[in-house]
Amino acid sequence: MAILTARIEERDEPSGKRKSYSDHLWKDESDVKTSVRAVLRRMAPGVLGCCMYCGSTTGTDIEHFEPREKNPAQTFRWSNHLLACGPCNSTYKRTWWECDTETGEPLLIDPTREDPFTHLFLDLGKGTYRRLTRKGQKTIDVLGLNLHERRFPEARRLARKCARRVIRDWGRARRDSDEAGMRDALDVLRIQPFADVWQSMLRQAVMPGADIVMDGEHPEVLYLLRNEELRAATLVDFPVQAAPAAGD
Least Å from the CB of residue 158 to Zn ion: 17
Least Å from the CB of residue 85 to Zn ion: 3
For residue 152, which amino acid is it?
Answer: F
Options 15-23, 78-86, 177-185, 213-221: segment touching Zn ion (CB under 5 A): 78-86
Nearer to Zn ion, 54 or 142 (CB): 54
Q: Would you call 106 exposed, middle or buried from its count of C-beta atoms within 10 A (0-12, 13-18, 19+)? A: middle
| Other CB atoms within 10 Å distance of the CB of residue 164 | 17
Q: Is 85 an interacting residue with respect to Zn ion (CB under 5 A)?
A: yes
- CB half-sphere exposure, 211, CA atoms < 13 A: 8
State how far the Cα of 106 lies from the Cα of 77, in Å rounded to an integer.
16
Least Å from the CB of residue 143 to Zn ion: 7
| Residues 17-56 contacting Zn ion, CB under 5 A | 51, 53-54
Nearer to Zn ion, 49 or 72 (CB): 49
Least Å from the CB of residue 238 to Zn ion: 18
Burial 93-104 (b: 16+ CB within 10 A, else e): beeebeeeeeee
Nearer to Zn ion, 54 or 163 (CB): 54
Q: Is 109 an interacting residue with respect to Zn ion (CB under 5 A)?
A: no
Least Å from the CB of residue 197 to Zn ion: 15
Q: Report in angstroms the alpha-carbon separations of 159 from 87, 99, 119, 125.
A: 20, 33, 21, 12
Q: Is 88 an interacting residue with respect to Zn ion (CB under 5 A)?
A: yes
Q: Backbone phi, then psi, for 148, in 5-degree steps?
A: -65, -25
Q: Is 166 an interacting residue with respect to Zn ion (CB under 5 A)?
A: no
State how far the Cα of 178 lies from the Cα of 193, in Å rounded to an integer.
25
Q: Is 140 an interacting residue with respect to Zn ion (CB under 5 A)?
A: no
Q: For the chain, count helices (H), then strands (E).
A: 11, 4
Least Å from the CB of residue 96 to Zn ion: 14
Nearer to Zn ion, 85 or 185 (CB): 85
* Chain residues that interact with Zn ion, rule: CB under 5 A: 51, 53-54, 85, 88
